[in-house]
Structure formats: C-alpha cells, structure tokens
A and B are shown apart, each in its own frame.
Chain A
C-alpha cells in the first residue's frame, strides 16, 4: 500500500517557521527513494513525518493505508515495532547491552523468540558475528552501525527509514552500509527511504527527491 502524503506542512516555533511547505508524495511498496538537499532543506523532517516519528502541522500522511495521527499510542508503537525499521546517523545502541541484545530489543518487546535465528543470520551476513557478545564501546564505528541496521531489520519490517546512515562513517564502512540497505530493498523487498547528502548514494535510488527550502524541486526516476 506504500506511503503517501498530501499538502504536507510542518512548522516549528512561535512565530512559526515553516520547514515543509505543502509536499505531495507517493511511495510504492518496494520502492527505494532517496531524499537529498542542502542542510536545512527539510529532508530529515520529511523523513520523520513519513515514518510516524513526527506529526504534520497540516496535511496528511498515509502509511500502509492508515494515518498515524489517528492511531492510538499503543497501536502506533505496535505498528512501528512490526512494520518500521530505523537507521539513524548515530547508532543509538544501548551501551549496557551487548550487540546481540541490542539487535533483539525490538523482538523483546513482544517476546518474539523466533527473531533470534533471523538476527544471528544477519550478524553472519553482515560479517559481524564476532561482535555479538561485545558491548557497543568495544566495537568500531562501522560495526556499531551494522549492529544498528541488524536491529532495524530484526523484525523484517516492510519499511526501512535511514537518516544519513553513512554520515559518521569512512568510505569503506559507508559502502558496506549502503550495500546492506540495497540488499534489504532489492532482495527482501523492503521499501527504503534514504536521507543523504551524498549524491552518489542518492543516485542509487530508483526515485530521487531533491528538496530545497521545504519544497520538492526535482524528482528523478
């Protein structure tokens, strides 16, 4: 069913500063969409609106046929848990948990024991099996981000949102991360929405959206 938004507006503060200015967008299931633009163009804000983390000032977002604004708090969080995966610029791993425990956090919410097999397979696939029992502080930046991606993929979500996932990584690790994200989209059919300021990575997407001052100025397929 994908993600769609109509006349999406988001403003902050008083007097209000409008960041997103009436965006209409349609993302199909299985799409790989990149959102790029200069700093302050509103690309991260648009990602958070599309991914239910934030609510619009006006306009509407529909994801998987439902409006996040109309869901109850518990239903919204259950939807996030089961259907959405997030990768941020910072890994946001819990420092007191091992890599494996971090990756299993989404599954732990509903005592989903089956996820462990899947997560272990992802650790091997991403070549970080030796990191499983280590704390985040014992891992390199690239390994930390890969663990964060395993966490995002642990519930086999239908939508994967990545906000500058390579922003803190060197070129080698950036390539590894991008390869994983592409794999998630191409081989596992996840809808991938990527925010990046790297033109090369933006160009990997089937659909490129370029934002300027809160407005889509260019769309390329």
Chain B
C-alpha cells in the first residue's frame, strides 16, 4: 500500500506540505527549546556537582531542648514551668563518630571515594578590607577523588594544600573583593580568638557567583587548628559509582545514623525544582504545536477518506481487505509523522549549531555563548512524540475508512 499512499500524498501537495511543516515546526521547536534548557541544565548541574558531592553527610546541630532539660533535672515528673526556658546549642556541630562512617564507606561497593571536611564560617581581611567567607578544610588527595575541583582551579593546584602550611585556595570573586593577588597573605578569623595568616596559593572559579564570592579551601589540619577542634570534622562528601543511586542510598544511610545524610538532589532541591518547571513548559509548548499538527492530520485524512469513498469501494471489490484499507491511510500518517519529525529535528539540530556560535554580552562558564545540549535523548523524545501523535491522529480516519463496505458506498453513490 506504500505505492498508493505515496500517490495519495503527492496528489494533494499543498495539504501534505502544510501538515509536514506543522510536524516539522513542532519537533524543531522541541529540539531548540530542549537544547537550550538542557544545555543550561547540564552546565548548572555540572557546576553544582563540582561543589556538591553525590551524598553529603553532615553533623546535626545539638540544640538545647526544654523538655529534655526538664526530664534530666526533674526526673520525678514534677510540674515545672520555666520562666526562661533553656535554649541554645550544646556545642559546635561535628560528626561524632567519623571512623564508623569511614569503615562503612570503605566497604560499600557503590562508593567510589569519600572525603572528610571541616567547614567553617570565617571573616577574612586584607588591609582594611573585610569579607565573610566559608573555609573548607580538606585532605587534597581524598577531596579531588570526590569532587572534580581541579579543573576549576585557575592558578595554582590542589597539591599546594597537601602539607599543612597555612596556604589557601580562594574563589576568584572573593579575591577580587579583597583586592588581593596570588601569593598575598590574608588574615583569617574564626571569630573566636586571634587572626591567623594564610597565604593565597591558588585561585578557583566555578562560574557560580555565590560560590566564587565566598569559597576558600585549605588543608584540613590548618582549618582544625584555626577552629581549635583538632581531629574534628563536620562533613563527609561521598562519590558513588552511580549518581542515580544517591537518593536511595542517602535515605538508607539516614535511617541508621543521627547525622544528616542528603543526596545532591536534596541539597540542590530548589535548582532541581526549577528544572521540573522548565520541563513542564518545554513539553507543554511542544505538545501544543504537535496537537495542532495532529489535528491537521486528522482533519485532512478525515476529509480524504470521505472524498475517496468511491476508491475505497473499488479497492474492496477488487480484493483489498479492510486491513489493507486501514494500512493505506495509516501509512500516510506514519510517513508524514516520520518525515516531518526527521526534517524538523534536522533543522533544529542545524539551528542549535548556529545558536551555539552567537556571542552574547554575558559570561556563561568560560565563554560568552549559550550552552546547547545535543543529547540524543532530546532527538529520540522529539521524534517519538511527533511520530506517535501522527499515528494516533491518522488511526481514527484510517479505522473509519476500513469499516466502509463497498456496497454501502456504491448504494450511496447511486
């Protein structure tokens, strides 16, 4: 029936071209919108993951609880009414039993690496300039196995932190705020006691403003000394073999620990929520375009089935069964869906290649052009949506055609 289906399509070139363009437009828009959205998403996720482990284990704050105090001081169950209820923190949050975590993580086959860190808020100063920052104490050899931070270090390298030596790698925007340069010494205060001098031995840029404006990385030993908490850590970053298992594994570990265990999705939930909205917008726009195209197919095929009643009658009388009549019209929908989707995706791909070269007045990562995703999943999904909507749209008219009997048509013609 391909032969006849092609002839049908070619005999009404304008209608065929319009439907073809409708489907092409839908898939082209899908490829472009998806390319832009997913390109930016890949960029953002990549940057997030450069700064966020697959799973983050962090210490819970130990707050003073009024009810617990009541039970401890008045175990007989006296009726106590606090004039000023006890409040505050017992001590600075830290992971109480890190060795237990290390043992577990070392034995877990799903864990690639882990890195203990001590994070603390500090005030840094250089001359008269002061700035708040987050100082992360790391063991460089472990840290770079968990986070691919090295590629974002613009000057120096993580190796400079291998031995304690009061060295620090600083975010480029923070460096700018301080008016400092590589090799300069800055003063760091934990807010507890004296200022401690740290030498700027490296500069990093993740192209995430909030991070680049506040992040400093130093040796774990140096940070523990500055915080006056030798041997303490308050976070363990974990890298997994399969990132997709992060949420499930974090959930399982959280059940058996009093520490806070979060997957990277939970840590970045607000970002990921935006992605969900983006997906909804993208799929809604594309679906709207494809629905219009599908209605086009449905309308045109319905009209054609009506116009072709005589031909259907003669085909049935010369031995073409209903299944072949169904095929005849279904094939037309399939061919329009297939060719329209393919053409639209090719044009979308080409336009994406072009858009990728347009220079803008904004810095995105290391360049100033939009980041486009060419993930095969975009093109597979776009093709599938267009193809199946075309099949669905042609199915009803095709079924109607296959149910026509030759005698009913001939009688209605007389």
Interface residues, chain A, with chain B CB atoms under 8 Å away: 44, 48, 53-54, 73-74, 76-82, 84, 86, 88, 90, 92, 94-97, 105-106, 108-109, 151
What is the chain B residue whose CB lies nearest that of A94? B311
Cβ–Cβ contact B8 & A77, under 8 A: no
The 4 closest A-B pairs by CB, nearest first: A81-B319, A96-B11, A77-B321, A92-B314
The 8 listed contacts between A and B (C-beta, < 8 Å) are A48-B407, A73-B322, A77-B320, A81-B318, A88-B314, A92-B310, A94-B4, A109-B319
Interface residue? B160 (CB, 8 A) = no
Interface residues of B (CB under 8 A from A): 3-4, 7-8, 10-11, 310-311, 313-324, 406-407, 410, 413-414
Q: Are A54 and B407 in contact (CB under 8 A)?
A: yes
| Known interface pairs A80-B318, A97-B4; 7 further A-B residue pairs with C-beta atoms within 8 A, sorted by A's residue number | A80-B319, A81-B318, A92-B310, A92-B313, A96-B7, A96-B8, A108-B3
Q: Which residue of B lies closest to A164 (CB)?
A: B414
What's the minimum C-beta distance from A76 to chain B, rounded to whole angstroms?
Answer: 8
A149 vs B328: C-alpha distance in the bound complex, in angstroms?
24
Residues of A within 8 A of B3 (CB): 108
B311 to chain A, nearest CB (A): 5
Contact: A106 with B407, CB < 8 Å?
Answer: no
Q: How far is the CA of A86 from the CA of B16 in the complex (A)?
A: 32
A210→B223 CA distance, assembly (Å): 114
Chain B hits for A88, CB < 8 A = 314, 410
B193 to chain A, nearest CB (A): 92
Kindly provide the distance from the CB of A52 to the nearest chain B CB, expressed in whole angstroms.
Answer: 9
Note all chain B residues with C-beta closer than 8 A to A54.
Answer: 407
The reply to whether B315 and A105 form a contact with Cβ atoms under 8 Å apart is: yes
Which residues from chain A contact B11 at a C-beta distance below 8 Å?
A: 95-96
Beta-carbon nearest neighbor of B413 in chain A: A90
Known: A90-B310, A95-B11. A48 touches B410 (CB 8 A): yes
Q: Report whether B318 and A109 are in contact in the complex, using a CB–CB cutoff of 8 Å.
A: yes
Contacts of A96 in B (CB 8 A): 7-8, 10-11
The answer to whether B319 touches A77, judged by C-beta atoms less than 8 angstroms apart, is: yes
- How far is A95 from B321 in the complex, measured between Cα atoms in Å? 21
Contact across chains for A53 and B406 when beta carbons are under 8 A apart: yes
Q: Which residue of A lies closest to B8 (CB)?
A: A96
Bound-state CA distance A54–B406 (Å) is 8
A48–B311 alpha-carbon span in the complex (Å): 17
Q: How far is the CB of B381 from chain A (nearest CB, A)?
A: 35
Closest to B311 in A: A94
A77 to B311, CA, bound (A): 16
**B319 lies within 8 A of A78 (CB):** yes
- For the complex, give the distance between the alpha carbons of A95 and B8 in Å: 9
Closest to B308 in A: A94
CB-contact partner of B410 in A53, A77, A105, A106, under 8 A:
A53
Shortest CB–CB separation between residue A7 and chain B, in angstroms? 21
Residue pair B321, A74 in contact (C-beta under 8 Å): yes
Shortest Cβ distance from residue B160 to the other chain A in the assembled complex, whole angstroms: 77
| Distance of A47 from chain B, by nearest CB (Å) | 10
Known A-B contacts A90-B413, A96-B7, A108-B3; the reply to A53 vs B317 at CB < 8 A is yes
- Chain B residue with the shortest CB-CB distance to A52: B317
Instruction: Output the nearest chain A residue to B12 by Cβ-Cβ distance.
Output: A96
Once bound together, how far apart are the Cα atoms of A105 and B1, in whole Å?
10
**When chains A and B are docked, how far (Å) is the Cα of A37 from the Cα of B314?**
25
**In the complex, chain A residues whose CB is within 8 Å of the CB of B311:** 92, 94
Contact A86:B318 (CB < 8 A) given known A53-B406, A53-B410, A54-B407: yes
CB neighbours of B413 from chain A (8 A): 90
A54→B324 CA distance, assembly (Å): 19
B413 CB to nearest A CB, Å: 7
B4 to A: closest C-beta gap in Å: 8
Residues of B close to A86: CB separation below 8 A: 314, 317-318
B321 interface neighbour in A73, A90, A94, A108, Cβ under 8 Å: A73
A80 to B311 CA separation, bound complex (whole angstroms)? 16
Residues of B within 8 A of A74 (CB): 321, 323
Residues of A within 8 A of B407 (CB): 48, 53-54
Minimum CB distance partner of A78 in chain B: B319
What's the Cα separation between A73 and B321 when bound, in Å?
A: 7
Minimal beta-carbon separation of B83 from chain A (angstroms):
92
Residues in B with CB closer than 8 Å to A109 are: 318-320, 324
Q: How far is the CA of A53 from the CA of B313 in the complex (A)?
A: 10
Residues on B with beta carbons closer than 8 Å to the beta carbon of A77: 316, 319-321
